[in-house]
Amino acid sequence: MPDEGGADLLALRCDAVADLDEAAVRDALEYFGPDLVYVVRESSDVRVVSRVRRAADSPVVAAAGPAEIRTETVAGISFCFAGSTSLLADAPAADYLVCDDLEPTTDAVALEATLAGREAAARYRSRSSREPTFLTGALPASYDHVWEGAVDGESVRLPVRGLAPLERSGAAELACLTCGRAGSVAVSSVPADRFGLGALSGVGPTTARRLRKNGYETRAAVADAAATALSSIDGLGPSTAREIVHSARALADGRVVRTTADPLPPAGDATPLFVDIETDGLQPTTIPLIGVYDPASDDYVDFVDTAPSREDPGRATREFVSWLAAEYDAPSLVAWNGHGFDYDHLERFIARYTPEYRAYWHDHVATYDPYDWAVRRGNAVLPGRTNRLEDVAAALGRDREGAAATLDGKTFAERLRRLLEGSSESEAPTIDWTAARRYCEADVRELAAVYEAIAVADPKPTDPAGARPANEPTQTGLTDF
Amino acid sequence: MPGDADGPIEGDDTDPGGLALTAAQLRETYPDARYAGQCRERFTLPAEPADHVPAAEVLPPDLAATLSVDPWRHQADALAALERGENVCVTTSTSSGKTYVYALDIARRFREDPDVRALLVYPTKALSRDQERELNDLFDDLGLDVTVGVYDGDTKRREKSRIREEANVVITNFAGLNQYLEGHHRWAAFHANCDLLVVDEAHAWTGVSGMHAAWILRRARRVIEWYGGDPQYVLTSATIGNPADHAEALTGEPATVIDDDGSPSGRRHLVFWDPPTDGGAGEGGDGNDEGTARRPSKRPATVEAPEVWAHCCYHGVPSLLFCDSRTGTELAVGRAREFLETPSLPYRGGADLAAYNAGHGKRSRRGTENRLKSGALDGVATTSALEVGIDVGGIDGTVLLGYPGSRQSFWQRIGRSGRGEREALSVFVPSHSTLDQYVCNHPEYLLEEDPESAVVDLENNPVYLQHLRCAAQELPLRREDAARFGGRERLEQAVEYGRRTGEFEGSLAGGITYAHRDRPQDEISLYAAGGNTFEIRLAGEGSIDHQPIGRARAYRDYHEGATVLYRGDQYEVVALREDRPQPYVELEEADLDYYTQSQRRTTIYDTEIRESRDVGNFRLNWGYGTVTVHHGTFMKRDLESGDVREVGLETGVPPLEMRTQLCWAEVPADVERAVTAAHSDYHNDECEELPPRLHGYLGGIHAVEHAMIAVAPLELAVDAADLGGLATNRLPDGTDASGWFIYDGIEGGLGFSRRIYEEYEAVARRARDLWVDCDCGRDEGCPACLMSDRCGNDNRPLYGPAARDVIDAVLDDGSAAPRPDRADGDRDERRPPASIS
């Protein structure tokens, strides 16, 4: 969340929520608690829009409505919605100008990209005393680019953000934008199919329909059901039915439900060492902050490079791994989605910036990923709307407070990137390293708590027929692409 | 290929005089009743002695001592160049032991450092497995514990991590490498120790797939360098016209070309066997002479070639017959048996013949291979499956049913007979199509002239963007990468483009990263440009291992109702769908006796000149233009005879607009006037829409356009289907001149029109010869010269005499006539536009 607060704008695209019934739409609205709902123009469907209107307490603006100007002021932030860029000439000033006509037009052969509606947007900007942020449903919510426009030979900045659902591995994620007064926008997102019965693992649109048809309208109803009752529904096998019930209970009770009897790795005597890295993005160019928590000694240590530079992006990594090698002969690292992120990049940075530790890392360090173990390998069902660490931790009752709650990884990454880019810019942000370190520490401790919650959850009684050998420890490098 | 690997080690010394039939004897023994002068050309290619270099000169003593035979000259040269730290591109003949070059280099390095790694990129998975065995055998022979692993889509998960960690030699293919680069941290040790990057069959990477390969290699090199590796390149290639340029285009680095072939070869008899005119030589014509009233038709090569093959096999020349389809191999065996059993012919006892193709299943194919090697079979009719790779043993003869489309493939197939210094017999039976007839009329093309050039174009921006996304996702892109990725200006422009579209974040100073969570590597299809690809599916349960294709190709060859020949099997397209996120084409296995070809209509506008030069008095331009192509109709042709069955069938696909590269010639006003006047008498009744006076001239430039595209594959490694053309009496650039275009049929361009622009005179000369030397003798040409199956104007008008005059003017060096004044008053007269595509 941005520290200045702001208005929450939930943007929907009809095709992404077409499978949600009214209860599920209500569930989504409750989850995000938006001040304002916007239905983008693309793929508009009147039935879906009316479903959203019935479910919403907040104002709902649909882009496909009459081409007109509409303004809404919520939480002290003003939004102006314009049905087309031709209407911008008469549009009143606002903090945010929403118009789905704004969209890059591209010519890949000539390597040229321009913004459709740029002139109208620039004139709108020049009439306004403050700098509005332009929002468009024609682009995904990850979109964030400052275009340049010109009015009467004067150049103006046109910050453009997207609103449409994010695409992740082919699935749409609904995005809610927290729009601050100064144009700062923070995005949170949840897969569109994770609402209503869809929030249950193993339930897609078809299964949701089957459940509803059989009288299971809500997650609570499913949580109360016996797996055997569910498996009598046509098309639901016993194992799917169990998975659904487990998941409903996990969500309802805010606890971990184990679905196998396998022990949570690392098994045996090894004590886990919890790790998290903070970077400047999904493909990091630098890792300036690494936090480590050892539950055995209850010590938290971090490695931080408060003056990150392009010249030596691996400084913190080097300090971390040399400390690790000095302190632990054969550590068992535990990181959330470590096999999808942290370990990959640590390994890459070690190879490049401190190759003398490559052999140690490779031969002596065991790496574990409870997210991978629980979710991808199907050993446990976690509470939380998504399986992101902060969602799982919140569902387990751990809420963040203080400095740690004012920051999130993506915001940190953006600031860090601007800091690194901005050596020439006068407006390069400063990073509050104290807050960043607290945030990182909160993350690592949350990880330890979630790990503990998984570890203490009752394992499913061993099924003698289907007993599997315990998972081997997952060494770095064993997973595949 | 094992042929390569069995190079000098075995030292095969079979009796070179063992060949049962020479070319002359083939002629003498052929039944008189079936012979009517088919031996159109006869050549004897002399034997080449082996040129050895003592092993100790190029290898460390102990390694040299384990080699049983001295390496050949080119192998030694390449090893020496590698030792000097150079990249090498080895372009020597089939079975000249090119594999030995890198195998011995790896062996040499392994002795110094058992941690050494090498990455080998092969064109196909099948070849990879074959090569793994060969390399393992070789390293065993050398007594070295070098670990070799194949890493591709068929490799098991557990195997993969073992190979990444342990294998000295990793064999993969480009599609795989494109994917594996994403998980590069897993390859840290491999990359750090990677000393050698080998691209096998480098000539195969041309056109669309060539540009993908070139970018993938640049990405690979960058990732390897991140981990501290600094590999040298070894490229092996069939003989091509531009090995040094091609190597540099593919890898971005200069390479020493090794082409002084030291491998021996026996004397080879090569016969061009032109099928007889139908009815002229006995029965067996299959009644396919109807419908071609233009001239007496020839017996199809599909009938004639199996008979020649049968004759060779019968007379003790164990032979391969190369056919272009699986069905073709089966039919050929049937025909050959029939031929040998014809009572009126002097054959007694037959020959043991078999068909070989990928449809036969592994075990059956192994059986055929073994029987061939052991001598139990006299002949095998095969698809391209036996062109490379599998060891075929003591084959003395090769018969080619039709020209395989490239000189490289021609010699590769021919080269399958006559191992070592043994004599060999090869027979080429041309079919009645453009390239076959050209080659038949111009044997010097095969025997004397420079081979085709491979074309790798890094100019295509949509493809460039695709690989930049991958590169940025693999490692942040920085300014230092500009040298490898298009130069600073282009990289900066692409980065700005990506930032504006939301795909890139950051700056080149600190690192550009990919902003999305998907894998941009998944968007790369080696055989399509710039995304928007169609998946190929099989209707019902089955699956088909067919690369996705680009939209242009889908519309052209995969519309509903089209027949598709894939790996020798025939399919029919039952659906083409693009109203969903993943467009697809659905195929159904089919057993049809026809094939289809679509016809296109083309319009061109918004041309933008990038370069110009004068050719004769013509202005020749190269640049970009917007081309709209509509493959609106298709025809069905008889599979056997090629005769047209039905025309004007609807494809149902919409027009396709693309921005692409093209070259065009502007005809000078005086040439246009002179040629128009000289041929104003020519009239084509079916061209009512054109001014009658212009039929001759327009037929001329239309024919030039067709002929130039038809002969382009003789100069460049290009599939003529990827080129298109348009002749018009008013160019869209406002000059009001007439002229003709040749364009790359792929969004963003392929570099082919660019190369044609550069080698215009050579291509034009061949185009002229095509018609002038064609046996048809017709002013309007025939399917083997001026006519094109793709022509949306039904090949009307086409007029050879005017085409010849126009090309003569192109090739005129200007000494004959002074350059005309461009402000010629005659230009003011507005003419009705007429375009013929």
Do the Cβ atoms of B462 and A108 come within 8 Å?
Answer: yes
If pLDDT is split at 50, 70 and 90, which confidence band does B327 have? confident
Residue A291 CA to residue A438 CA, distance in Å, equals 10
CB contact under 8 A, B494 and A111: yes
- What is the distance between the alpha carbons of residues A92 and A192, in angstroms, rounded to a whole number? 33
Reported as a single tens digit per residue, the pLDDT across B471-490 is 999 999 999 999 999 999 99
pTM: 0.84
Q: What is the pLDDT of residue B548?
A: 81
Residue B659 forms contact with A (CB below 8 Å): yes
* Residue B270 and residue B245 share a domain: no
Which residues, at least 6 apart from B218, have a Cβ–Cβ distance to it below 8 Å?
A: B251, B252, B467, B471, B484, B485
Q: What is the pLDDT of residue A426?
A: 53
Asked whether residue B287 carries a pLDDT value surpassing 60, the answer given is no
Residues B687 and B769 in one domain: yes
Q: What is the pLDDT of residues B656-699, one digit of tens each?
A: 999 999 999 999 999 999 999 999 999 988 888 888 889 999 99
* Same domain, residue pair B388 and B475: no
Nearest CA of chain B to the CA of A80: how many Å?
24
B462 and A109: CB-CB below 8 Å? yes
* Yes or no, beta carbons of A113 and B496 under 8 Å apart: yes
What are the boundaries of each domain within chain A? 7-191, 196-253, 272-456
Q: Looking at B470, B491, B523, which one is the last position of a domain?
A: B523
**A271 Cα to chain B: minimum distance (Å):** 25
Looking at residues A180-200, what average pLDDT do you find?
A: 85
Residues B608 and B740 in one domain: yes
Q: Find residues 761-820 of chain B whose CB sits inside 8 Å of chain A.
A: none
Report residue A456: phi and psi, to 5°. Answer: -90, -10
So what CATH class is A196-253?
A: mainly alpha
Instruction: Tell if the CB–CB gap between B188 and A111 is shorter than 8 Å.
Output: no
Are B513 and A282 in contact (CB < 8 Å)?
A: yes
Residues B666, B811 share a domain:
yes
| End-to-end CA gap in chain A | 33
pLDDT at B790 over 90: no
Residue linked to tokens 């990732």 = B223
The pLDDT tens digits of the residues spanning A49-60 come to 999 999 999 999
Shared domain check, B624 and B610: yes
- Rounded to the nearest angstrom, the minimum Cα separation between B161 and chain A is 6
Residues of B in contact with A167 (CB under 8 A): 516, 518
Instruction: Locate all alpha helices (DSSP H) within B167-206, ordered by sequence.
Output: 174-180, 188-192
- Measured CA to CA, the distance from residue A286 to residue A421 in angstroms comes to 12
pLDDT (tens digit, 9 = 90+) per residue, A9-29? 999 999 999 988 888 899 899
The fold for domain A7-191 equals: Purple Acid Phosphatase; chain A, domain 2 (3.60.21)
Q: Is B490 exposed, middle or buried (0-12, 13-18, 19+ CB in 10 A)?
A: middle
Helix (H) or strand (E) holding A361: helix A358-364
Rounded percentage of chain B residues whose pLDDT exceeds 90: 54
Computed over every residue of chain B, the mean pLDDT equals: 87
Q: Does B747 touch chain A (CB under 8 A)?
A: yes
Q: Are residues B121 and B171 in the same domain?
A: yes
Tell me which of B178, B186, B459, B579 to substitute to probe the interface with A (most A C-beta atoms closer than 10 Å). B186
Q: Does a structural domain hold residue B605? A: yes
Give the mean pLDDT of B802-829: 63
User: Chain A interface residues facing chain B, Cβ-Cβ under 8 Å?
Assistant: 104, 106-115, 139-140, 142-145, 147, 162, 167-170, 281-283, 285, 310, 344-345, 347-348, 351-352, 355, 358, 362, 417, 420-421, 477-478, 480-481
* pLDDT mean across residues, chain A: 86
Answer yes or no: is pLDDT of B16 > 50. Answer: no
Do B583 and B490 belong together in one domain?
Answer: no
B164 close to A481: Cβ distance less than 8 angstroms:
no
Pairs from B673-679 (Cβ < 8 Å, separation ≥ 24): B673/B826, B674/B805, B675/B700, B675/B802, B675/B805, B675/B806, B675/B809, B678/B802, B678/B805, B679/B799, B679/B801, B679/B802, B679/B805
Q: Is the pLDDT of residue A201 over 90?
A: no
- Domain match, B271 and B373 both: yes
Q: Which residue of B has its CA nearest to A141?
A: B502
Residue at B633 is within a domain:
yes
The CA distance from B68 to B280, in Å, is: 56
User: Closest to B499 (Cβ–Cβ): which among A145, A310, A352?
Assistant: A145
Q: Taking residues B714-718, what's their average pLDDT? A: 82
* Structure token pair of residue B498: 């990506």
What is the number of H-type helices and E-type strands within chain A? 15, 21
- Asked if pLDDT for residue B185 goes beyond 70, the answer is yes
User: Which of chain A's residues have a Cβ under 8 Å away from the Cβ of B183?
Assistant: 344, 480-481
CB contact under 8 A, B517 and A168: yes
Number of domains in chain B: 5
Beta-carbon separation of A108 and B505 below 8 A: no
Q: What's the DSSP call for residue B549? A: B
Out of B30-44, B538-552, B604-618, least confident range: B538-552
Q: What is the pLDDT of residues A257-272, one digit of tens each?
A: 888 888 898 987 788 9
Question: How far is CA B296 from each of CA B126, B284, B771, rounded to the nearest angstrom?
Answer: 44, 16, 18
- Is B236 part of any domain? yes
| Confidence label for B814 from pLDDT (cuts 50, 70 and 90) | low
pLDDT reported for residue A461: 60
Q: Would the CB atoms of A481 and B501 count as touching at under 8 Å? A: no
Nearest residue, CB atoms, A108 vs list B179, B461, B511: B461
> Which range is most confident: A144-158, B446-460, B711-725?
A144-158
Contact B545, B205 (CB under 8 A): no
* Nearest CA distance, B189 vs chain A (angstrom): 8
Q: Which residue of A has its CA nearest to B530?
A: A108
Q: Residue ranges of the alpha helices (H) in B600-740?
A: 669-678, 695-715
- Residue B294 pLDDT greater than 70, yes or no: no
CATH of residue B310's domain is 3.40.50.300
Q: What is the pLDDT of residues A305-357, one digit of tens each?
A: 998 888 889 999 999 999 999 999 999 999 999 998 999 999 999 998 999 99
Question: Does residue B795 share a domain with residue B746?
Answer: yes
Residue in A143, A310, A347 nearest the CB of B510? A310
**Contact residues on chain A for B472, CB-CB shorter than 8 A:** 283
Decide if B823 touches A, using CB distance below 8 A: no
Read off the pLDDT of residues A134-164 as tens digits, 9 standing for 90 and up.
Answer: 999 999 999 999 999 999 989 999 999 999 9
Q: Is the pLDDT of residue B293 over 50?
A: no
Average pLDDT rounded to a whole number, residues B597-615: 91
| A–B interface: beta-carbon pairs under 8 A | 124
Q: Do B501 and A285 touch (CB under 8 A)?
A: no
Sign of the torsion formed by the C-alpha atoms of A458, A462, A467 and A470: positive
Residue B1 lies in a domain: no
- Structure tokens, B810: 């192109």
Same domain for B166 and B307, yes or no, is: no
Token output for B576: 């083409």
At B431, phi and psi to the nearest 5? -95, 175
Mean pLDDT calculated for residue range B313-325: 92
| Domain-located, residue B6 | no
The answer to whether B363 faces chain A, any CB pair under 8 Å, is no
Q: Please tell me the predicted confidence (pLDDT) of residue A428.
A: 61
* Residues ≥6 apart with Cβ < 8 Å to A132: A80, A93, A94, A95, A96, A97, A124, A125, A183
For B501, the closest of A113, A355, A478 (CB atoms) is A113
Query: How far B579 CA lies from chain A's nearest CA (Å)?
Result: 14
Q: Is B318's pLDDT higher than 50?
A: yes
Residue B467 domain boundaries:
461-523
The pLDDT, as a whole number, for residue B11 is 34
Q: Which tops the pLDDT comparison, B198 or B831?
A: B198
Q: How many residues does chain A have?
A: 481
Identify the CA nearest to B633 among candidates B744, B559, B531, B529: B559
Give ipTM to 2 decimals: 0.84
Mutation pick from B180, B185, B473, B475 vs chain A, by most beta carbons of A within 10 Å, is B185
Q: Which member of B179, B490, B513 has the closest CB to residue A285?
A: B513
Amino acid identity, residue B275?
Answer: P
pLDDT score recorded for residue A181: 84
Residue with tokens 């083997």: B784
Within this chain, do residues B426 and B561 fall inside the same structural domain, yes or no?
no
Residue A423 pLDDT: 53
Question: Range with the lowest mean pLDDT among A418-427, A463-472, B173-182, B380-389?
Answer: A463-472
Nearest CA distance, A348 vs chain B (angstrom): 5
Burial of A106 (0-12, 13-18, 19+ CB in 10 A): middle
In sequence order, what are the beta bridge partners of A80?
A71, A97
Topology of A272-456 in CATH?
Answer: Nucleotidyltransferase; domain 5 (3.30.420)
